[in-house]
Amino acid sequence: MIATVETLKEILDAFNRHDLDAIMEFFSDDCSFDMPRGTEPWGQRFIGKAQVREALAGRFKGIPDVHYGEDRHWISADGNMGVSEWTLTGTTTSGVSLKVRGCDLWEFRNGKITRKNSYWKIVDQPTSK
C-alpha cells in the first residue's frame, strides 16, 4: 500500500471534520509529529500515536474552528513522501483570528504516516501609526 494525492486529501478532510479517530487511522504506531512552534529548532515533537493524538486534540481545543483550505498536494513517485500546502483559518480560544499559509511534509511507510512535519508562515501584525 502506498500513499497517494487522494490519501492526502482524505487526511485533510478528516482534519477539517476534527475527527481524531479518522485522523489517527492514517498514522503508524511509531509515528512522530513536529509542530510549527516550540523551544527546539524543529518546534515541538511528539512521538507515538498517543502523543500525536494528544497534540492534535490540543490543536482542536486551542483553535476550535480550525480549518485547512486552499489546499494543494504532491506525492513522491514511490508514495513514501508527500507535501500538503494549505491556508489555516480559525480563532484561538483567546480570541485571536488566524489566517496563515502553511504546509505539511509527510513521510509514509506501507501507506501509513510515520512523520508529519508542519510549517506555518509567521504573520506580523500591522503596526499603528
Residue 129 lies in a domain: no
CA 15 to each of CA 46, 54, 60, 93: distance values in angstroms, whole numbers, following the listed order = 17, 14, 9, 18
Task: Tell whether 50 is covered by a domain.
Answer: yes
Let me know if residue 84 belongs to a domain. Answer: yes
State the total domains in the chain: 1
14 located within any domain: yes
Task: Indicate which CATH number applies to the domain containing 17.
Answer: 3.10.450.50
β-pair partners for 119: 103
CB half-sphere exposure, 83, CA atoms < 13 A: 8
d(CA 52, CA 63): 17
Question: Would 51 be classed as within a structural domain?
Answer: yes
Phi (first) and psi of residue 58, to 5 degrees: -65, -40
Query: Quick one: pLDDT at residue 43?
Result: 94
What's the chain's average pLDDT? 95
Answer yes or no: are the C-beta atoms of 11 and 21 closer than 8 Å: no
Q: Which domain holds residue 11?
A: 5-120
pLDDT for 129 equals 63
Flag whether 126 is in a domain. Answer: no
Q: pLDDT band at residue 51, thresholds of 50, 70 and 90?
A: very high
DSSP string, 81-116: EEEEEEEEEEE-TTS-EEEEEEEEEEEEETTEEEEE
> Does the residue 69 lie in any domain?
yes
Amino acid 122: pLDDT: 86
pTM (2 d.p.): 0.92
pLDDT in tens, 8-49: 999 999 999 999 999 999 999 999 999 999 999 999 999 999
Q: What is the distance of C-alpha 112 from the center of its chain?
A: 15
* 88 band by pLDDT with thresholds 50, 70 and 90: very high
Does 128 fall in a domain?
no
